Amino acid sequence: MNIEDVEIRAAGIDDLAAIFHLGERVFTSQDVSNLYRTWDEYEVTGLFNSEPEYMIVAEIDGRGVGFAMGTTINKARSAWSYGHLVWLGVDPAVARAGIGDMLFERFKEIMQEQGVRMLMVDTQADNEPATAFFIRKGFENPTDHVYMTLNLQKED
Protein backbone atom coordinates (compact mmCIF):
# COMPACT_ATOMS: atom_id res chain seq x y z
CA MET A 1 0.00 0.00 0.00
CA ASN A 2 1.19 3.47 -0.90
CA ILE A 3 0.15 6.22 1.51
CA GLU A 4 -0.03 8.66 -1.44
CA ASP A 5 -2.96 6.62 -2.78
CA VAL A 6 -5.06 7.35 0.31
CA GLU A 7 -7.74 9.98 -0.13
CA ILE A 8 -9.47 11.63 2.82
CA ARG A 9 -12.85 13.15 2.02
CA ALA A 10 -16.20 14.07 3.51
CA ALA A 11 -18.56 11.12 3.92
CA GLY A 12 -21.69 11.05 1.79
CA ILE A 13 -24.91 9.10 1.99
CA ASP A 14 -23.48 6.33 -0.20
CA ASP A 15 -20.66 5.71 2.28
CA LEU A 16 -22.82 4.88 5.28
CA ALA A 17 -23.23 1.12 4.71
CA ALA A 18 -19.50 0.64 4.11
CA ILE A 19 -18.64 2.67 7.22
CA PHE A 20 -21.06 0.60 9.28
CA HIS A 21 -19.66 -2.72 8.08
CA LEU A 22 -16.05 -1.65 8.53
CA GLY A 23 -16.97 -0.56 12.06
CA GLU A 24 -18.47 -3.99 12.71
CA ARG A 25 -15.06 -5.48 12.01
CA VAL A 26 -13.07 -2.86 13.88
CA PHE A 27 -15.17 -2.35 17.01
CA THR A 28 -15.81 -5.97 17.86
CA SER A 29 -13.38 -6.85 20.61
CA GLN A 30 -14.19 -6.16 24.23
CA ASP A 31 -11.45 -3.59 24.54
CA VAL A 32 -12.97 -1.19 22.04
CA SER A 33 -16.50 -1.49 23.36
CA ASN A 34 -17.74 1.30 25.52
CA LEU A 35 -20.38 1.14 28.19
CA TYR A 36 -22.44 4.07 27.03
CA ARG A 37 -22.08 3.72 23.26
CA THR A 38 -22.36 0.63 21.12
CA TRP A 39 -21.47 0.44 17.48
CA ASP A 40 -24.69 0.06 15.55
CA GLU A 41 -26.43 1.49 12.50
CA TYR A 42 -27.78 4.41 14.52
CA GLU A 43 -24.30 5.65 15.44
CA VAL A 44 -23.62 6.12 11.74
CA THR A 45 -26.99 7.35 10.57
CA GLY A 46 -27.54 9.49 13.68
CA LEU A 47 -24.22 11.32 13.46
CA PHE A 48 -24.57 11.68 9.69
CA ASN A 49 -28.01 13.13 10.17
CA SER A 50 -27.05 15.57 12.91
CA GLU A 51 -23.47 16.58 12.07
CA PRO A 52 -22.42 15.27 8.66
CA GLU A 53 -19.59 17.82 8.50
CA TYR A 54 -17.74 15.81 11.16
CA MET A 55 -17.84 12.51 9.29
CA ILE A 56 -14.93 11.69 7.00
CA VAL A 57 -13.67 8.62 5.21
CA ALA A 58 -10.35 7.32 3.95
CA GLU A 59 -10.30 5.43 0.70
CA ILE A 60 -7.84 3.74 -1.62
CA ASP A 61 -8.94 3.34 -5.24
CA GLY A 62 -12.55 3.91 -4.20
CA ARG A 63 -12.44 1.31 -1.40
CA GLY A 64 -13.20 2.54 2.11
CA VAL A 65 -10.38 1.78 4.54
CA GLY A 66 -11.18 4.05 7.46
CA PHE A 67 -13.40 6.71 8.95
CA ALA A 68 -13.63 9.30 11.68
CA MET A 69 -16.76 10.86 13.09
CA GLY A 70 -17.63 13.09 15.96
CA THR A 71 -19.61 15.91 17.41
CA THR A 72 -19.19 19.27 19.09
CA ILE A 73 -20.24 20.13 22.62
CA ASN A 74 -20.97 23.57 24.00
CA LYS A 75 -21.06 23.63 27.76
CA ALA A 76 -23.18 26.09 29.67
CA ARG A 77 -21.18 28.97 31.20
CA SER A 78 -18.13 28.10 29.12
CA ALA A 79 -16.93 30.12 26.17
CA TRP A 80 -15.09 27.05 24.98
CA SER A 81 -16.42 24.77 22.34
CA TYR A 82 -15.33 21.16 22.64
CA GLY A 83 -14.94 18.60 19.91
CA HIS A 84 -15.47 14.91 20.60
CA LEU A 85 -13.93 12.35 18.28
CA VAL A 86 -16.45 9.62 18.89
CA TRP A 87 -15.37 6.88 16.48
CA LEU A 88 -12.10 6.40 14.61
CA GLY A 89 -11.53 3.17 12.75
CA VAL A 90 -9.01 1.87 10.24
CA ASP A 91 -9.19 -1.42 8.35
CA PRO A 92 -6.73 -3.80 10.10
CA ALA A 93 -5.44 -4.82 6.66
CA VAL A 94 -3.86 -1.36 6.32
CA ALA A 95 -3.09 -0.69 10.00
CA ARG A 96 -0.07 1.27 11.09
CA ALA A 97 0.45 2.86 7.71
CA GLY A 98 -0.53 6.37 8.75
CA ILE A 99 -4.20 6.32 7.72
CA GLY A 100 -5.46 6.89 11.28
CA ASP A 101 -3.07 9.81 11.41
CA MET A 102 -4.43 11.33 8.16
CA LEU A 103 -8.02 10.93 9.35
CA PHE A 104 -7.23 12.48 12.70
CA GLU A 105 -5.41 15.46 11.18
CA ARG A 106 -8.31 16.19 8.81
CA PHE A 107 -10.82 15.80 11.64
CA LYS A 108 -8.79 18.22 13.75
CA GLU A 109 -8.66 20.77 10.90
CA ILE A 110 -12.44 20.63 10.49
CA MET A 111 -12.91 21.13 14.22
CA GLN A 112 -10.50 24.07 14.23
CA GLU A 113 -12.40 25.65 11.34
CA GLN A 114 -15.52 25.42 13.51
CA GLY A 115 -13.82 27.27 16.37
CA VAL A 116 -13.32 24.22 18.58
CA ARG A 117 -10.63 24.86 21.16
CA MET A 118 -10.26 21.47 22.78
CA LEU A 119 -10.64 17.95 21.48
CA MET A 120 -11.69 14.99 23.58
CA VAL A 121 -11.46 11.27 22.99
CA ASP A 122 -12.30 8.35 25.18
CA THR A 123 -11.49 4.69 24.98
CA GLN A 124 -11.19 1.71 27.27
CA ALA A 125 -8.02 1.88 29.37
CA ASP A 126 -6.78 -1.44 27.97
CA ASN A 127 -7.15 -0.40 24.31
CA GLU A 128 -3.41 -0.02 23.87
CA PRO A 129 -3.33 0.79 20.13
CA ALA A 130 -5.81 3.62 20.58
CA THR A 131 -4.19 4.94 23.76
CA ALA A 132 -0.75 4.91 22.12
CA PHE A 133 -2.21 6.55 19.02
CA PHE A 134 -3.84 9.41 20.94
CA ILE A 135 -0.83 10.03 23.17
CA ARG A 136 1.29 10.20 20.02
CA LYS A 137 -1.13 12.80 18.66
CA GLY A 138 -0.56 14.97 21.72
CA PHE A 139 -3.52 14.10 23.94
CA GLU A 140 -2.71 14.38 27.61
CA ASN A 141 -4.18 14.14 31.07
CA PRO A 142 -5.74 10.69 30.72
CA THR A 143 -8.33 10.63 33.49
CA ASP A 144 -9.61 7.48 35.12
CA HIS A 145 -13.35 7.24 34.90
CA VAL A 146 -15.20 4.64 36.92
CA TYR A 147 -18.36 3.13 35.46
CA MET A 148 -20.75 1.36 37.79
CA THR A 149 -23.91 -0.52 37.02
CA LEU A 150 -27.03 -1.18 39.08
CA ASN A 151 -29.16 -4.09 38.00
CA LEU A 152 -32.74 -2.90 38.36
CA GLN A 153 -34.16 -6.34 37.65
CA LYS A 154 -32.48 -8.03 40.57
CA GLU A 155 -34.97 -8.82 43.33
CA ASP A 156 -33.56 -8.71 46.86
Ligand X SMILES: CC(C)(COP(=O)(O)OP(=O)(O)OC[C@H]1O[C@@H](n2cnc3c(N)ncnc32)[C@H](O)[C@@H]1OP(=O)(O)O)[C@@H](O)C(=O)NCCC(=O)NCCS
List contacts with ligand X (CB under 6 A): 26-27, 32, 87-90, 95-101, 123, 127-130, 132-133, 136
- DSSP calls for 76-122: TT---EEEEEEEEEE-GGGTTSSHHHHHHHHHHHHHHHTT--EEE--
Beta carbon nearer to ligand X, 39 or 116 = 39
- The minimum distance between CB 151 and ligand X, in angstroms, equals 27
Q: Which residue is nearest to ligand X (CB)?
A: 100
Beta carbon nearer to ligand X, 23 or 116 = 23
- The minimum distance between CB 92 and ligand X, in angstroms, equals 7
- The minimum distance between CB 156 and ligand X, in angstroms, equals 37
Per the CB < 8 A criterion, the answer to whether 20 and 65 are in contact is: no
Beta carbon nearer to ligand X, 42 or 115 = 42
